[in-house]
Amino acid sequence: MHLQVEFSDQIGQRFLFLSTVNTDGQYYYFGDEQTQYKGMEENAIGNPNVTWEESTKTDVGFDLGLFNDKISLQVDFFHESRKGILLQRATIPQVTGIYPWSIPYGNIGKIKNKGVDALLEVRNTTNSGFFYSFRGNFTFARNKVIENDEPAKKYPYLSGKGKRLNQPFGFVAEGFFRDEADIQSSPYQALGSVRPGDVKYKDINGDGVIDSYDQVAIGYPRLPEISFGFGGTVGYKGFDLSVYFTGAAHATVDIGGFGMWAFYDGLGSNNILKEYYDNRWTPENPNARYPAIDVGNNPNNFVTSTVWKKNGNYLRFRNAEIGYTLKNINKKYGISQFRVFLNGMNLHTWDHVKIMDPESNDGWGQYPLQRSFNIGFQIDFN
């Protein structure tokens, strides 16, 4: 008998149908003595109409086996429409006096997902005893936001509707300011004061000002749309070799973070990556990869932009193992086989990011994957 119970609370909010109040340490003053009395304030506004979201799924697939299943192929196509997704309302204006954390939730989100999963396997042993196998998997998954309750935008390109879930928005960099004359002849930089070597952004709406209205969808979300893996094994007369690769595509990595902001938390707190220092803007290096170095958080340079968004596609040599196996080597002691092997993990990665692991979320201090090698042996007894 097997009994299993699963529960998931993705919203992390309880009793959404109830309105609540709290005492957060705020006081009211009364009387001539100005005595402090602790008061209450509105916390969460309840919605008695919240309910479950609805999902309609369609899956179509096939399994194919050839040559006595020496070759097998599985392919599944899927499509999902979700509606009534529980979201915090975004169209309630602040002029109502409602605190942002008090805004009620509602079944208002809509999203569509589609994609394909595929798996190919090949296994065979020849008459001479040579064994080989191959296994490859491929997944493509794309989503689109249909409704997210966002307010109407001044410009259509600012809207998240019709785009991917968690689509990043930011500024499009056009290089770096060469000198003061370049700054004066460019659109007004409302993000902060600029100097030569700072990032120059594209004026998307053409109003002569670089501000929040010049942000557009840039790149892909962090979660890849495409992921895959492939590998194989060969064996002959006791020797065997296995390799495995993984990869992803249609993803964007944000490399901004501590390593790019000199002295981010004050003197002596953080330094910058050598990659940034060696490729920074200087008058002698106007076509640099990164802007001029600044102390602290430069409000113009360190906004989300194409400067810090990098292609997240990668191919990783995940692991490899080579071994040799001896069988029936000592019947007296009941040893059926002895195997010695050498393996390695995280052997190499081909990617566009270079300065950090392409599977990291961002540049805010994740510890990188380590390359490792192991030598071992295995003894099997009867």
pLDDT of 333-347, one tens digit each? 677 888 999 999 999
CA distance 98 to 361: 33
Alpha carbons 244 and 343: distance in angstroms, whole number: 12
Average pLDDT for residues 295-301, to the nearest whole number? 79
Q: How many angstroms separate the Cα of 351 from the Cα of each of 190, 286, 317?
A: 35, 26, 11
Taking only Cα atoms into account, the Rg of the chain, rounded to an integer number of angstroms, comes to 29
Q: Which DSSP helix (H) or strand (E) runs through 201?
A: strand 199-201
- DSSP assignment of 12-51 equals ----TTS--EE--S-EEEETTTTEEEE--EE-----TT--
What would the mean pLDDT of 8-18 be, rounded to a whole number? 66
Q: Where are the domains of the chain?
A: 205-382
Confidence class for position 4, pLDDT limits 50, 70, 90: low
Q: d(Cα 248, Cα 311) in Å, to the nearest integer?
A: 11
Interval 219-254: pLDDT, tens: 999 999 999 999 999 999 999 999 999 999 999 998
Q: What pLDDT is attached to residue 228?
A: 98
198 CB-contact burial (10 Å; exposed 0-12 / middle 13-18 / buried 19+): buried
Best CA proximity match to 74, nearest among 143, 135, 142, 141: 135
CA angle, 140 then 146 then 150, to 5°: 125
173: pLDDT strictly greater than 90: yes
pLDDT score at 332? 67
Full DSSP string of 140-154: EEEEEEEE--PPPPS
Q: Which residues pair with 112 in a beta bridge?
A: 81, 144
Cα(275)–Cα(358) distance, integer angstroms: 16
CA 105 from chain center: how many Å? 26
Give the other-Cβ count within 10 Å of 356's Cβ: 22
Contact 333, 224 (CB under 8 A): no
pTM, rounded to two decimals: 0.83
